[in-house]
Structure 1
Amino acid sequence: MTEQQKAPTPTQRALPGLLIAGSLGGVGLVMVTLLSFAPTVDDGSGSLTAAAAPQEAPTPVQMENAGAFVLSPTVGPGGKDVPLTPARLEAPPPLAAVPTVPPIPKAQVKTGRAKPTRIKIPKIKVNAVVGTVAMDSKGKLGTPPLSKAGRTGWFTGSPVPGEIGPAIINGHVSTRKGPAVFDRLRELAKGDQIYVYRSDGKVTRFTVSGIEQASKTAFPSARVYGNTKDAQLRLITCGGVFNQKAHSYTDNIVVYATLSKKKG
């Protein structure tokens, strides 16, 4: 056997494989480098055990929350057992459900300005005294005393109910002792009636035009407190999840209503 015909050494025999491996290793390094610049993607994959387990149907709460981040262009009509969703911040107040009537001219009584004294909402069996609340130095609207869970509060910086503009009345949804005056406020729906009695003897009738649940961190101030061309009413209470540490709810329930003729 000549030198040219000598058997290849172990190194020579392994060289082709090393070259191929080196090439693949180089490709692999390039792929790893490219992927390192790509955003991570959550494809929903989990453990094999979890993947093999049968998937449960979504609960009603999950279904309700599924569209929580898609804001509606308008305030919804509301209704019992209907999930309330927030509207876009720039959305206007909902349109009146029934024909409206002209606002009541400003009335004076012996004590000066007329004020609301009682509110009745037949649909949810509310018949409550209306006190007064004001805004503090930090711009936060006050509420009725927790010791008087059945009382509501009229914001004195807003119009008297029946006069032009949005009159504001709030109340608690609950206290540590149990449900409060506006516990069932979320059940109201477009077309329901609200009656506000005034110190000048007038009884104003409002018809609900819409209702929403909005986060307190994204409260629709312009829609709630903004000027209107007719007489409107806003009822406000708490909603959402109760924070035990802060002793407060995450959201607000807001009812929109307009001074109107009796439905029907």
Structure 2
Amino acid sequence: MTEQKTPMQRALPGLLIAGSLGGVGLVMVSLLSLAPPVDDGSEPRAVAQAEPTTVEIANAGAFVLPPTVGPGGKNVPLTPARLDAPPPLAAVPVVPAIPKPKVKTAKARPTRIKIPKIKVNAPIGAVTVSKKGVLGTPPLSRPNRTGWYKHSPVPGETGPAIINGHVTTRSGPAVFDRLRELAKGDHIYVYRSDGKVTRFTVSGIEQASKNAFPTKRVYGNTSNAQIRLITCGGVYNKTTHHYTDNIVVYATLSKKKG
């Protein structure tokens, strides 16, 4: 029997993040199998000279990416993991995903996200992909709004639900301005239109260059219900109006009610 692909597998096998004006950035759709190879620092580079310099020897360890996504935390610098690293393991026991309705009804959708630690209490709107393969972001005129990619799983269902939000706009800090402060064990609550409330527990957080975005780790299928929160980070380029990096938070479903 041919295995049935999920909507996520069909519509979004891989995504790449690019920058946008003072915000979370754009998401470019591409097949994982067609994604160009990216040097993630996991393999040694060839050097032109026969022997490494003293400076290279002293700094060799600084360029070795960790094999796992870090836990984050106060005063802990965020770093990217190797591109072949899997999503971080759950911080607490996971609970079974919410099953999809057996009868045809209006699809549930996420309506609000709350993150107590960083004082986020924001509405969730739907975003989708344009003909050019660009995933929309919340309007810059609504800095407190987040965007759920409507072809990713509904938060609480099996797979990685994707929610993005701006870090800043021309008017000042935006909804995910403090996203980088989250750490392993923190809670994220997502409210749904069907009355269900889901609690996700952060399992890890990283800051990755947009030139080496961890597409497979972020958008790859999972066996349980997970969520990814994405915003911009790193250095802001005033000329291009782009940030250099992305902040990615990974979390797993740890409680549900309703």
Moved more, 91-100 or 76-85: 76-85
Give yes or no for the alignment of 1:135 onto 2:129.
yes
Give yes or no for the alignment of 1:153 onto 2:147.
yes
Partners of 1:195 and 1:204 lie apart in 2 by 6
**Alpha carbon RMSD of aligned pairs, Å?**
2.4
Partners of 1:105 and 1:147 lie apart in 2 by 35
Residue in structure 2 matching 1:86, options 77, 80, 85: 80
State the SS of the aligned residue for 1:260.
strand
AA paired with 1:79?
Answer: G
**Matched residue, 1:195:** 189
Residue in structure 1 matching 2:215, options 215, 221, 242: 221
Task: Map 1:1-264 onto structure 2 (within 5 A).
Answer: 69-107=63-101, 112-261=106-255
Partners of 1:140 and 1:108 lie apart in 2 by 32
Choose 1 or 2 for highest CA Rg.
1
Tell me if the contact between 2:198 and 2:255 (Cα under 8 Å) persists in the aligned partners: no
Partners of 2:83 and 2:237 lie apart in 1 by 24
Structure 1 unaligned segments of length 5 or more: list them: 1-36, 45-64
Structure 1 residues 38 and 127, CA, compared in 2 at 3 Å: closer, same or farther?
closer
State the SS of the aligned residue for 1:166.
strand
AA paired with 2:238?
Answer: Q
Aligned length: 206
CA deviation vs aligned residue, 1:63-117 (integer Å, no higher than 9, x gap): xx99652211000001132100000001000000001110001249997211000
Name the % identity.
77
Tell me if the contact between 1:166 and 1:234 (Cα under 8 Å) persists in the aligned partners: yes
**Matched residue, 2:26:** none
Tell me if the contact between 1:109 and 1:200 (Cα under 8 Å) persists in the aligned partners: no
CA deviation vs aligned residue, 1:139-190 (integer Å, no higher than 9, x gap): 3322101110000000011000000000000000001111000000000000
Partners of 1:248 and 1:111 lie apart in 2 by 41
State the SS of the aligned residue for 1:206.
strand
Partners of 1:111 and 1:237 lie apart in 2 by 32
Structure 2 unaligned segments of length 5 or more: list them: 1-47
CA deviation vs aligned residue, 1:187-239 (integer Å, no higher than 9, x gap): 00000000000000000000000000001111101000000000000000000
Tell me if the contact between 1:109 and 1:199 (Cα under 8 Å) persists in the aligned partners: no
Partners of 2:150 and 2:66 lie apart in 1 by 31
Partners of 1:132 and 1:221 lie apart in 2 by 21
Cα drift, residue 133 of structure 1: 1.1
Structure 1 residues 139 and 166, CA, compared in 2 at 3 Å: closer, same or farther?
same
Partners of 2:49 and 2:164 lie apart in 1 by 51
Structure 1 residues 180 and 107, CA, compared in 2 at 3 Å: closer, same or farther?
farther
Structure 2-normalised TM-score? Answer: 0.74
State the SS of the aligned residue for 2:217.
helix
Kindly indicate which of the two structures has a greater share of residues assigned to strand: 2
Tell me if the contact between 1:107 and 1:200 (Cα under 8 Å) persists in the aligned partners: no
Cα drift, residue 246 of structure 1: 1.3
Cα drift, residue 245 of structure 1: 1.4
Structure 1-normalised TM-score? Answer: 0.73
